Amino acid sequence: MSKPRASIYKRYIPAVTPPPEFSGSAYWLIFHSGKLLVTETAGTAGVPFVPALEQLSMVPLRTLYLGTFEGLPCFAAQVQAETPEPAGMAFRPLRSLYESLDEDLFHLAGKGIQMLAWDETHQFCGRCGTATELAQTEHSRSCPACGLVSYPRIAPAVITAILKDNRILLAHSPHFVSNMYGLIAGFVEPGETLEDCVQRETMEEVGIKVKNIRYFASQQWPFPHSLMVGFLAEYESGEITVDGEELDHADWFELDRLPVIPSPVSIARKLIDWVVEHHS
Protein backbone atom coordinates (compact mmCIF):
# COMPACT_ATOMS: atom_id res chain seq x y z
CA MET A 1 0.00 0.00 0.00
CA SER A 2 1.26 3.47 -0.84
CA LYS A 3 0.26 7.01 -1.58
CA PRO A 4 -1.72 7.73 -4.78
CA ARG A 5 -0.13 7.11 -8.14
CA ALA A 6 2.48 9.14 -9.97
CA SER A 7 1.65 11.78 -12.57
CA ILE A 8 0.04 10.81 -15.87
CA TYR A 9 2.45 13.15 -17.67
CA LYS A 10 4.94 10.35 -18.30
CA ARG A 11 2.59 9.06 -21.01
CA TYR A 12 0.35 12.06 -21.68
CA ILE A 13 1.28 15.47 -23.10
CA PRO A 14 -1.51 18.08 -22.93
CA ALA A 15 -2.26 20.33 -25.88
CA VAL A 16 -5.07 22.52 -27.21
CA THR A 17 -5.03 21.95 -30.97
CA PRO A 18 -4.13 18.76 -32.87
CA PRO A 19 -1.03 18.67 -35.08
CA PRO A 20 -2.06 19.75 -38.61
CA GLU A 21 -0.06 17.02 -40.28
CA PHE A 22 -1.67 14.13 -38.41
CA SER A 23 -4.04 11.93 -40.40
CA GLY A 24 -4.07 8.54 -38.67
CA SER A 25 -6.12 7.02 -35.85
CA ALA A 26 -6.56 8.60 -32.46
CA TYR A 27 -7.79 7.69 -28.99
CA TRP A 28 -11.45 8.73 -28.57
CA LEU A 29 -12.93 9.28 -25.12
CA ILE A 30 -16.63 9.32 -26.00
CA PHE A 31 -19.20 10.18 -23.34
CA HIS A 32 -22.86 10.55 -22.72
CA SER A 33 -24.69 10.83 -19.37
CA GLY A 34 -21.44 10.37 -17.44
CA LYS A 35 -20.67 7.10 -19.22
CA LEU A 36 -17.58 6.31 -21.30
CA LEU A 37 -17.66 4.20 -24.47
CA VAL A 38 -15.25 1.29 -24.07
CA THR A 39 -14.23 -1.91 -25.75
CA GLU A 40 -14.38 -4.94 -23.47
CA THR A 41 -12.22 -8.03 -23.81
CA ALA A 42 -11.79 -10.66 -21.09
CA GLY A 43 -12.42 -8.21 -18.27
CA THR A 44 -10.14 -5.52 -19.71
CA ALA A 45 -11.57 -2.25 -21.00
CA GLY A 46 -10.12 -0.01 -23.69
CA VAL A 47 -11.18 3.07 -25.63
CA PRO A 48 -11.89 3.30 -29.37
CA PHE A 49 -8.82 3.93 -31.53
CA VAL A 50 -10.13 5.16 -34.88
CA PRO A 51 -9.51 8.07 -37.31
CA ALA A 52 -12.88 9.75 -36.71
CA LEU A 53 -16.26 9.28 -35.02
CA GLU A 54 -17.91 8.82 -38.39
CA GLN A 55 -16.24 5.41 -38.49
CA LEU A 56 -18.36 4.51 -35.45
CA SER A 57 -21.50 6.06 -37.03
CA MET A 58 -21.53 8.77 -34.36
CA VAL A 59 -22.16 12.51 -34.59
CA PRO A 60 -20.60 14.49 -31.71
CA LEU A 61 -22.35 17.32 -29.90
CA ARG A 62 -18.90 18.70 -29.07
CA THR A 63 -15.30 17.60 -29.48
CA LEU A 64 -12.20 18.75 -27.61
CA TYR A 65 -8.58 17.88 -28.29
CA LEU A 66 -6.74 16.82 -25.13
CA GLY A 67 -3.19 16.22 -26.40
CA THR A 68 -1.24 13.04 -27.03
CA PHE A 69 -1.31 9.76 -25.15
CA GLU A 70 1.75 7.60 -25.81
CA GLY A 71 2.54 9.93 -28.73
CA LEU A 72 -0.88 9.60 -30.38
CA PRO A 73 -3.68 12.21 -30.48
CA CYS A 74 -6.45 11.93 -27.93
CA PHE A 75 -9.91 13.52 -28.22
CA ALA A 76 -12.87 13.83 -25.87
CA ALA A 77 -16.34 13.88 -27.42
CA GLN A 78 -19.92 14.10 -26.18
CA VAL A 79 -22.71 12.36 -28.05
CA GLN A 80 -26.49 12.17 -27.65
CA ALA A 81 -27.76 9.95 -24.83
CA GLU A 82 -29.68 7.75 -27.28
CA THR A 83 -26.60 7.07 -29.44
CA PRO A 84 -26.43 3.33 -30.28
CA GLU A 85 -23.46 1.37 -29.01
CA PRO A 86 -21.18 0.12 -31.81
CA ALA A 87 -20.67 -3.62 -32.05
CA GLY A 88 -18.25 -4.84 -29.40
CA MET A 89 -18.47 -1.62 -27.39
CA ALA A 90 -20.57 -0.34 -24.51
CA PHE A 91 -21.14 2.84 -22.50
CA ARG A 92 -20.07 2.25 -18.90
CA PRO A 93 -20.15 4.58 -15.85
CA LEU A 94 -16.67 6.04 -15.54
CA ARG A 95 -16.27 5.17 -11.86
CA SER A 96 -16.97 1.49 -12.56
CA LEU A 97 -14.00 1.30 -14.96
CA TYR A 98 -11.21 2.00 -12.46
CA GLU A 99 -9.99 -1.59 -12.19
CA SER A 100 -10.55 -2.61 -15.82
CA LEU A 101 -9.26 0.45 -17.72
CA ASP A 102 -5.58 1.44 -17.95
CA GLU A 103 -5.08 3.77 -14.96
CA ASP A 104 -3.60 6.63 -17.00
CA LEU A 105 -6.47 6.36 -19.46
CA PHE A 106 -8.92 6.37 -16.53
CA HIS A 107 -7.50 9.64 -15.23
CA LEU A 108 -7.33 11.10 -18.72
CA ALA A 109 -10.98 10.16 -19.17
CA GLY A 110 -11.64 12.03 -15.93
CA LYS A 111 -10.07 15.11 -17.47
CA GLY A 112 -12.08 14.61 -20.64
CA ILE A 113 -15.46 14.39 -18.91
CA GLN A 114 -14.71 17.52 -16.87
CA MET A 115 -13.62 19.46 -19.96
CA LEU A 116 -16.76 18.48 -21.85
CA ALA A 117 -18.98 19.49 -18.93
CA TRP A 118 -17.25 22.88 -18.78
CA ASP A 119 -17.59 23.40 -22.52
CA GLU A 120 -21.29 22.52 -22.43
CA THR A 121 -22.10 24.96 -19.62
CA HIS A 122 -20.04 27.91 -20.92
CA GLN A 123 -21.47 28.30 -24.41
CA PHE A 124 -22.75 31.75 -23.42
CA CYS A 125 -21.14 34.57 -21.47
CA GLY A 126 -22.11 34.68 -17.81
CA ARG A 127 -21.84 38.46 -17.82
CA CYS A 128 -23.68 39.60 -20.96
CA GLY A 129 -25.17 36.43 -22.52
CA THR A 130 -23.25 36.59 -25.81
CA ALA A 131 -22.22 33.29 -27.43
CA THR A 132 -18.64 32.50 -26.43
CA GLU A 133 -15.75 31.38 -28.62
CA LEU A 134 -13.36 28.52 -27.95
CA ALA A 135 -9.74 29.67 -27.69
CA GLN A 136 -7.08 28.11 -29.90
CA THR A 137 -4.09 28.62 -27.58
CA GLU A 138 -5.47 27.54 -24.18
CA HIS A 139 -8.45 25.76 -22.70
CA SER A 140 -10.81 28.70 -22.29
CA ARG A 141 -13.91 30.28 -23.81
CA SER A 142 -14.01 34.02 -24.33
CA CYS A 143 -16.82 36.51 -24.95
CA PRO A 144 -16.34 38.55 -28.15
CA ALA A 145 -18.62 41.29 -26.78
CA CYS A 146 -17.37 42.04 -23.26
CA GLY A 147 -14.10 40.09 -23.15
CA LEU A 148 -14.95 37.82 -20.20
CA VAL A 149 -12.79 34.67 -20.27
CA SER A 150 -14.05 31.43 -18.68
CA TYR A 151 -11.74 28.59 -17.74
CA PRO A 152 -12.56 24.97 -16.81
CA ARG A 153 -13.95 24.81 -13.29
CA ILE A 154 -12.14 22.95 -10.53
CA ALA A 155 -13.60 22.74 -7.02
CA PRO A 156 -10.97 21.99 -4.33
CA ALA A 157 -12.06 19.85 -1.39
CA VAL A 158 -10.20 18.41 1.60
CA ILE A 159 -10.49 14.89 2.96
CA THR A 160 -8.87 13.93 6.24
CA ALA A 161 -7.88 10.76 8.06
CA ILE A 162 -8.07 11.61 11.80
CA LEU A 163 -6.24 9.41 14.32
CA LYS A 164 -6.69 8.94 18.06
CA ASP A 165 -4.69 6.29 19.97
CA ASN A 166 -4.23 4.15 16.84
CA ARG A 167 -7.92 4.39 16.01
CA ILE A 168 -9.34 6.16 12.97
CA LEU A 169 -12.42 8.36 12.79
CA LEU A 170 -14.92 7.09 10.22
CA ALA A 171 -18.35 8.52 9.47
CA HIS A 172 -21.52 7.31 7.79
CA SER A 173 -23.79 9.45 5.63
CA PRO A 174 -27.43 8.55 4.88
CA HIS A 175 -26.67 8.59 1.15
CA PHE A 176 -23.77 6.10 1.38
CA VAL A 177 -24.46 2.66 -0.13
CA SER A 178 -23.82 -0.74 1.49
CA ASN A 179 -23.50 0.80 4.98
CA MET A 180 -20.14 2.28 3.94
CA TYR A 181 -18.12 4.51 6.26
CA GLY A 182 -15.77 7.21 4.97
CA LEU A 183 -13.56 10.10 6.05
CA ILE A 184 -14.41 13.69 6.92
CA ALA A 185 -14.45 15.79 3.74
CA GLY A 186 -15.78 19.04 2.37
CA PHE A 187 -15.28 21.85 -0.11
CA VAL A 188 -12.91 24.75 0.49
CA GLU A 189 -14.67 28.07 1.04
CA PRO A 190 -13.49 31.53 -0.09
CA GLY A 191 -10.89 32.99 2.25
CA GLU A 192 -9.78 29.63 3.65
CA THR A 193 -6.48 27.83 3.52
CA LEU A 194 -6.64 24.07 3.05
CA GLU A 195 -5.73 23.61 6.72
CA ASP A 196 -8.50 26.02 7.74
CA CYS A 197 -10.94 23.88 5.77
CA VAL A 198 -9.77 20.72 7.55
CA GLN A 199 -10.41 22.37 10.91
CA ARG A 200 -13.81 23.82 9.95
CA GLU A 201 -15.18 20.70 8.25
CA THR A 202 -14.12 18.50 11.15
CA MET A 203 -15.77 20.79 13.69
CA GLU A 204 -18.93 21.16 11.59
CA GLU A 205 -19.35 17.47 10.82
CA VAL A 206 -18.27 15.75 14.04
CA GLY A 207 -17.70 18.51 16.62
CA ILE A 208 -14.03 17.87 17.45
CA LYS A 209 -10.75 19.77 17.11
CA VAL A 210 -7.70 18.33 15.35
CA LYS A 211 -3.98 19.11 15.41
CA ASN A 212 -0.77 18.26 13.53
CA ILE A 213 -2.47 18.56 10.14
CA ARG A 214 -0.16 17.36 7.38
CA TYR A 215 -0.52 16.87 3.66
CA PHE A 216 -0.86 13.34 2.27
CA ALA A 217 -1.60 13.53 -1.47
CA SER A 218 -4.15 14.82 -3.97
CA GLN A 219 -6.42 13.22 -6.53
CA GLN A 220 -8.50 14.58 -9.36
CA TRP A 221 -12.10 13.50 -8.81
CA PRO A 222 -14.24 14.06 -11.90
CA PHE A 223 -17.59 13.53 -10.16
CA PRO A 224 -18.23 16.13 -11.39
CA HIS A 225 -15.18 18.44 -11.16
CA SER A 226 -13.37 18.21 -7.83
CA LEU A 227 -9.75 18.17 -6.75
CA MET A 228 -9.49 16.12 -3.57
CA VAL A 229 -6.63 17.16 -1.26
CA GLY A 230 -5.87 14.52 1.34
CA PHE A 231 -4.58 15.19 4.85
CA LEU A 232 -3.64 13.30 8.01
CA ALA A 233 -4.48 14.81 11.40
CA GLU A 234 -4.54 13.92 15.08
CA TYR A 235 -7.39 14.27 17.58
CA GLU A 236 -7.01 17.25 19.94
CA SER A 237 -10.23 17.64 21.91
CA GLY A 238 -14.01 17.35 21.93
CA GLU A 239 -16.67 14.66 21.76
CA ILE A 240 -18.09 13.28 18.51
CA THR A 241 -21.40 14.92 17.65
CA VAL A 242 -23.11 14.53 14.27
CA ASP A 243 -25.91 16.68 12.90
CA GLY A 244 -28.13 13.76 11.83
CA GLU A 245 -28.48 15.17 8.32
CA GLU A 246 -25.16 15.24 6.48
CA LEU A 247 -23.86 12.48 8.78
CA ASP A 248 -25.95 10.12 10.88
CA HIS A 249 -23.13 8.29 12.69
CA ALA A 250 -19.39 8.61 13.36
CA ASP A 251 -17.04 6.75 15.67
CA TRP A 252 -13.45 5.73 16.36
CA PHE A 253 -12.60 2.36 14.81
CA GLU A 254 -9.79 -0.05 15.61
CA LEU A 255 -7.58 -0.50 12.56
CA ASP A 256 -8.09 -4.26 12.51
CA ARG A 257 -11.89 -3.96 12.82
CA LEU A 258 -12.93 -1.52 10.13
CA PRO A 259 -16.46 -1.36 8.68
CA VAL A 260 -17.18 -1.25 4.94
CA ILE A 261 -14.87 1.45 3.52
CA PRO A 262 -14.60 3.24 0.12
CA SER A 263 -13.36 1.47 -3.00
CA PRO A 264 -9.69 1.58 -4.11
CA VAL A 265 -10.49 4.20 -6.77
CA SER A 266 -10.78 6.92 -4.10
CA ILE A 267 -8.17 8.85 -2.16
CA ALA A 268 -10.27 8.07 0.92
CA ARG A 269 -9.34 4.41 0.58
CA LYS A 270 -5.70 5.24 -0.08
CA LEU A 271 -5.60 7.32 3.09
CA ILE A 272 -7.22 4.55 5.13
CA ASP A 273 -4.92 1.88 3.67
CA TRP A 274 -1.87 4.02 4.44
CA VAL A 275 -2.99 4.50 8.04
CA VAL A 276 -3.59 0.77 8.49
CA GLU A 277 -0.16 -0.06 7.08
CA HIS A 278 1.77 2.48 9.13
CA HIS A 279 -0.14 2.40 12.43
CA SER A 280 -1.28 -1.19 12.92
Residues of the binding site for substrate: 95, 138, 151, 219-226, 268
State which amino acid sits at residue 98: Y
CB-based contacts of 67, cutoff 8 Å, min separation 6: 12, 13, 14, 15, 73, 74
Tell me if residue 269 falls in helix, strand or coil. helix
- Please report which helix (H) or strand (E) contains residue 194, including its range: helix 194-206
Binding residues: 95, 125, 128, 138, 143, 146, 151, 185, 201, 205, 219-226, 246, 268
CA 105 vs. chain centroid, Å, equals 13
C-alpha distances (whole Å) from 279 to each of 169, 189, 202, 255, 262 are 14, 32, 21, 8, 19
The amino acid at residue 213 is I
Instruction: Please answer whether residues 249 and 242 qualify as being in contact, where contact means their C-beta atoms are separated by less than 8 angstroms.
Output: yes
- Please state the residue numbers annotated as binding site for Zn(2+): 125, 128, 143, 146
The answer to whether 183 and 272 are in contact (CB under 8 A) is yes
What DSSP string runs through 6-29? Answer: --GGGTEEE-SS--TT--S-EEEE
Instruction: Identify which of 133, 165, 187 has the alpha carbon closest to the alpha carbon of residue 236.
Output: 165
Annotated binding-site members for a divalent metal cation: 185, 201, 205, 246
* Helices assigned H by DSSP within 44-166: 103-121
- Going by C-alpha positions, the residue among 53, 246, 81, 257 that lies closest to residue 167 is 257
